[in-house]
Chain A
Amino acid sequence: MDKIVCACGNVNPAGTELCESCGRPLNKETNDKKIVDMRYEGSARRSQTYNKTIIDKVWNFFSSVKVGMWIIVAILVAAAIGTILPQVFYVPATTETDIAAYYERIYGWFGTMYYKLGLSDLYSSWWFQGLVGMLGISLVIASLDRVIPLYKSLKKQQTKRHISFLKRQRIIGMDQANVTEESLLKAEQKLKELKYNVKRDGNAILAERGRFSRWGPYVNHLGLILFLFGVMLRALPGFYVDETMWLREGETLYVPETDGYFLESKEFIYETYSKEESKEVYGEAIDRVGTIAKNYQTDVALYKGPEGSIAGHTEDLSFVKEVSIQVNKPIKFDNFSVFQMDFRLDELATMTFQLQDKATQQSFGEFTIDLADPQPVYELKKGYKVEVMDYYADFTGFEEGVPQSQSPLPNNPAFLIKMYSPEFPKGETSFVMIKETVEPLGENKHKIAFQSVETRDVSGLTVRKDLTLPLLALGGLIFMIGVAQGAYWNHRRIWIQLLEDGQTVVAAHTNKNWLSVKRDLDKVTEVAHLPKYLDQQDIDSLEEKVDKEEGV
């Protein structure tokens, strides 16, 4: 398309509405407007100029604010729908069938529908992420479409603007006032006092303030784009780790995904507020609610193994540090943080038994099974021993004669045991559970008698590495700077011109906060005796004018 040459001689890119230099309207449509649209200074935007190829069409689609807003509204509505019922990650079930059953059981047909429609895992659905992706594309394209032409035309603007430009400003005053060189100087002076940048060109003044605030939206969009980019990066391997580990008191475990770090739990501490020792003001609340948790804490020691050491190899560890992990106080090392997230109190740790004669209850020795690490054989008094043939940590019953364990947690330990004695060198078989014994292969002479248990607490820890955090933080920071820049400052311009025919024109524009620019103008008008101005959009003041004229 052709460039547009303005009457003032400036050559404008195709699609320009107001001459970049003098401000004359360059087409009929703009010429017909009473107040001109100053958002992009009437500059040529790609989206408003080309609409031929597929690329043009895609570009125009994403650069439209209307489309952008529909995308945001769609995300907003979807996000709201996702809060109607809990999302899958808050549901106490892991397998698909269990999850489906959970929604059905708790929420009935509505829950089933919610689950079937995929709303229960809405935020990771392809279409939700697609919407967020479109938001990102829209942000990039809409910003580029505007910021470049805006920058060019703000740079090119002249001090002296054509009267047709000034007349189409929202704030305009024109009069045969006796404005002299002296009052122009006074005006200049005052504007400088008001922290305006003042330029003078013959009989024309351009005072400008806070132009940088015009870049606010683009800066904040850049911040958002960086943030979204950071979120995307998490999908790449190596950037993001999210693991959980259950660590028992006294145990030393490899920290998943780390480079040879190990954690040992010294102790887990669970405290509640007691009325006696806490501030007296809490008494009432404790009375009403009952127990209130005060602290979850795991005292740990951190060790580092030699290069390339892996799970299970706890030799040659070198001590790094000893810390208390609390809620809100994770332990940090090497880009990793380990958080106190969960706990189980009083998990069975060891069980102590005696091998006894069933009839006389005479003991042939005592043995202790470490439930985390049961030994195959426990040697007792001479000639007696016990063999643990099988261990069911979380025993739930027999299925077709086969013992079942639903988890590796020692919630309900059971053992298949062979008891050896001088009388029975081949052994007697017994199935030992808490409080009960089954003798699957016939009546035994000996029995395993339960003596005592020891328990310990288990800490649920989350292991996290997130290398995208610096990028997210940077994005957030840039976003905040951009928003503040655009919201707390505004771009004000005041034009004052003495025309050839002796008239004086004042005009003003601001991208927002019109009251302030009017106040500024009032101050200047007062010292420089400029013509009265009118806000062409102020309905009330226009109405009032009419009222007065009608004598009401």
Chain B
Amino acid sequence: MDMASLSSTLLFVAFVAYLIATFLFGGAVKSSNSKTTKSFERWGKLAITVTILGFIANLGYFITRWIAAGHAPVSNLFEFTTAFGMMVVGAFILIYFIYKTPALGLFALPIGIIIIAYASMFPTEITPLIPALKSYWLTIHVITAAMGEAILAISAVAGFIYLLKNIDLTKKSKERFWIEAVMFVLVLVIGFIVATVSFSLADYKAEYSYISKDETQHNIEYTMPALFGMNESVALTKGAFEPLVEMPPIVNAKKLTTVIWTILFGTVIYILLRLILRKRIASVLQPLTKKSNSQLMDEIGYRAVLIGFPVFTLGALIFAMIWAHEAWSRFWGWDPKEVWALITFLFYAVFLHLRLSKGWDGKRSAWIALIGFIIIMFNLIAVNLIIAGLHSYA
């Protein structure tokens, strides 16, 4: 087996291990009360062992792909997002050894799993480096930044558990609405994965020509039935789906189509879940958090930011500036990706100040941690896909 396919296999192994570990953590959480400490410890030990094995396979993926490609596998959206998913698991393992809380694993691992699954929806082939990316600073900058973001993400997971546990889901409230909204967004990500996989299994492809905003003609290939057409689009593939609405040139109708399919699939899945479970998703998950200690979750939420913030700053701002100075002659250029890294930095700075000086803890702190994660994901994904700049890989 050559390196590249060994690498894919290892990633798959890691993926499966994380799935199994999630269920094991579920077992640990269910059994954790004072009478069953023994069994709790057994489940917990098993769960973290499987997680670590998975993580080693995941590292194996990273290293073998590095060898196969000849450069660190962080140079396109698939690679970067996968690395981020891996680091979320890594950050969880780190925090687990400080605080020994299985509930954290029960929620952190699925986040890692979803991120890796999401990553695999992008083209997964190994790409050669364009000149701007040929620098060891790329490796240092991206890996450190992703590590920082992953540790910060654990803060959001802890915040999420805190909120699930402490929000009264029996009464109508803003909190109840928003925590369910968070669940809905997670289901949307699953919707995206299901939509992409379904259409690719059905081998759907259709090519259109269109006129771009600089008034030249281009071709574009859709992998989902075109709900929206590009400007003055003409189908080139026989029998291609006729777009329902045509978009003006500044809108990328292909991406819009993907978004709408995602929402359609996600919403259908969400409604089905609600019908089957006959409960809000948050209410289904809430019992899993009953036994976690709020004080501890609150502390983990803060500690994760304290650990992650310096790492993030070093990777996403300082190393980024050093590299930008070598590659683009200026250490700062107000490129959207740079700006969003700065926004993330400022946001977590505010988090730390509110916490330390204004005593914002508990629910407020948990919500802020969740919003922080949304900002990180926005920078990771949306800025690449929506706002095109120097950094856009896709």
Residues of A within 8 A of B (CB): 39, 65-66, 68-69, 72-73, 75-76, 79-80, 82-84, 86-87, 89-90, 106-108, 123, 242, 273, 278-279, 281-282, 284-286, 288-289, 292-296, 326-330, 337, 339, 341, 462, 464, 469, 472, 476, 479-480, 483-484, 487-488, 512-515, 535, 537-541
CB pair B313–A480 under 8 Å, yes or no, is yes
In whole angstroms, what is the CA distance A108 to B250 when docked? Answer: 9
CB pair B353–A515 under 8 Å, yes or no, is no
CB pair A294–B131 under 8 Å, yes or no, is yes
Minimum C-beta distance from B380 to chain A (A): 15
- Kindly list chain A residues whose C-beta atoms are within 8 Å of the C-beta of B356: 39, 512
CB pair A123–B334 under 8 Å, yes or no, is yes
Contact status of A328 and B302, CB under 8 A, knowing A284-B126, A341-B329: no
Minimum C-beta distance from A255 to chain B (A): 14
Question: Smallest CB-CB separation from A84: which chain B residue?
Answer: B387
Contact status of A69 and B327, CB under 8 A, knowing A514-B299, A515-B99: no
In whole angstroms, what is the CA distance A312 to B356 when docked? Answer: 62
CB pair A65–B353 under 8 Å, yes or no, is yes
- Kindly list chain B residues whose C-beta atoms are within 8 Å of the C-beta of A108: 248, 250
- Kindly list chain B residues whose C-beta atoms are within 8 Å of the C-beta of A278: 128
Known contacts A72-B346, A328-B131; can you find 4 more A-B pairs with CB under 8 A? A76-B350, A79-B342, A80-B339, A483-B313
Instruction: Give the interface segment out of B105-113, B193-201, B304-312.
Output: B304-312
In whole angstroms, what is the CA distance A541 to B357 when docked? Answer: 25
Task: Pick the residue among A75, A86, A293, A539 that contacts B294 (CB under 8 A).
Answer: A539
Task: Pick the residue among B69, B310, B339, B354 that contacts A83 (CB under 8 A).
Answer: B339
Is B114 an interface residue, CB under 8 A from the partner? no
Minimum C-beta distance from B79 to chain A (A): 12
Minimum C-beta distance from A273 to chain B (A): 5
CB pair A292–B127 under 8 Å, yes or no, is yes
Which residues of B (250-298) have their CB < 8 Å from a CB of A? 250, 293-296
Question: Smallest CB-CB separation from B7: which chain A residue?
Answer: A281
CB pair A327–B134 under 8 Å, yes or no, is yes
Contact status of A480 and B314, CB under 8 A, knowing A284-B125, A337-B329: yes
Is B217 an interface residue, CB under 8 A from the partner? no
Which residues of B (57-92) have their CB < 8 Å from a CB of A? 68-70
Minimum C-beta distance from A119 to chain B (A): 12
CB pair A512–B123 under 8 Å, yes or no, is no
CB pair B126–A282 under 8 Å, yes or no, is yes
Query: Main secondary structure on chain B at its contact with chain A?
Result: helix
- Kindly list chain A residues whose C-beta atoms are within 8 Å of the C-beta of B342: 79
CB pair B299–A39 under 8 Å, yes or no, is no
CB pair A328–B326 under 8 Å, yes or no, is yes
CB pair B131–A76 under 8 Å, yes or no, is no
Task: Pick the residue among B68, B131, B346, B354 that contacts A296 (CB under 8 A).
Answer: B131
Interface size on B, residues (CB 8 A): 60
Which residues of B (118-139) have their CB < 8 Å from a CB of A? 123, 125-128, 130-132, 134-135, 137
Task: Pick the residue among A87, A479, A515 that contacts B296 (CB under 8 A).
Answer: A515
Minimum C-beta distance from B2 to chain A (A): 8
**Which of B302, B357, B389 is most buried by chain A, counting CB atoms within 10 A of its CB?**
B357
Task: Pick the residue among B294, B299, B333 that contacts A515 (CB under 8 A).
Answer: B299
CB pair A65–B358 under 8 Å, yes or no, is yes
- Kindly list chain B residues whose C-beta atoms are within 8 Å of the C-beta of A540: 293-295
Contact status of A292 and B310, CB under 8 A, knowing A39-B357, A65-B353, A464-B330: no
CB pair A293–B318 under 8 Å, yes or no, is no
Question: Smallest CB-CB separation from B347: which chain A residue?
Answer: A76
Contact status of A328 and B125, CB under 8 A, knowing A464-B329, A540-B293: no
Is B167 an interface residue, CB under 8 A from the partner? no
- Kindly list chain A residues whose C-beta atoms are within 8 Å of the C-beta of B354: 69
- Kindly list chain B residues whose C-beta atoms are within 8 Å of the C-beta of A72: 346, 349-350
Which residues of B (132-158) have their CB < 8 Å from a CB of A? 132, 134-135, 137
Task: Pick the residue among A326, A339, A512, A538 that contacts B329 (CB under 8 A).
Answer: A339
Contact status of A66 and B358, CB under 8 A, knowing A282-B126, A285-B125, A487-B309: yes
Task: Pick the residue among B99, B131, B353, B389 that contacts A326 (CB under 8 A).
Answer: B131
Minimum C-beta distance from A102 to chain B (A): 11
Contact status of A330 and B329, CB under 8 A, knowing A72-B346, A476-B318, A513-B299: yes
CB pair A541–B295 under 8 Å, yes or no, is yes
In whole angstroms, what is the CA distance A285 to B340 when docked? Answer: 29
CB pair A107–B250 under 8 Å, yes or no, is yes
* Interchain Cβ contacts under 8 Å between A and B, 26 examples: A65-B353, A65-B357, A69-B350, A75-B346, A76-B346, A79-B343, A106-B213, A123-B334, A273-B128, A279-B69, A279-B70, A282-B126, A284-B125, A327-B131, A327-B134, A328-B134, A339-B328, A464-B330, A469-B325, A472-B321, A479-B313, A480-B314, A483-B309, A488-B307, A512-B356, A538-B295
